[in-house]
Amino acid sequence: MEASQAADQQPDNYLYQYAANLLASGKSSTEVERLLMLKGLAADDASAMVGELENPVQDVRKAQAKKDMLYGGLWCVGGLALTLADVGFVFWGAILFGGIQFIKGVTNLK
């Protein structure tokens, strides 16, 4: 690849990363398209870029939500099990942390 081609691709990589970060942070696709157009990208190109990124970003978001549900459930159940086993302590921190993490995962799983 020539140096001029690498320099031409650099802005595209930056814009892809910028758009992916905006989508991952919860911005709507129309808002991301608008922000890309403000950066100088044509409307058709912005729409195509957002279209390419929506599914992968959504997949990553769902995978993280499932992990939150799994680990939150494990913390909560583990804390409850140890508390009910009467080891002399109430593991309210683990129960609370796990419950919050589990609920966070459920709400993010859309």
pLDDT tens figures, 60-99: 889 999 999 999 999 999 999 999 998 878 899 999 999 9
The domain containing residue 90 runs over which residues? 3-108
- Give me the chain's average pLDDT, please: 86
Whether pLDDT at 4 is above 70: no
Q: CB neighbours of 23 closer than 8 A, spacing ≥ 6?
A: 29, 32, 50, 53, 54, 57
> What are the two backbone dihedrals, phi and then psi, of residue 27, each rounded to the nearest 5 degrees?
-70, 145
Residue corresponding to tokens 């080891």 = 87
Q: Give the total number of structural domains in the chain.
A: 1
- pLDDT at site 55: 87
Whether pLDDT at 100 is above 90: yes
The pTM is what?
Answer: 0.68
- Closest C-alpha among 54, 13, 14, 57 to residue 33: 54
Whether pLDDT at 12 is above 90: no
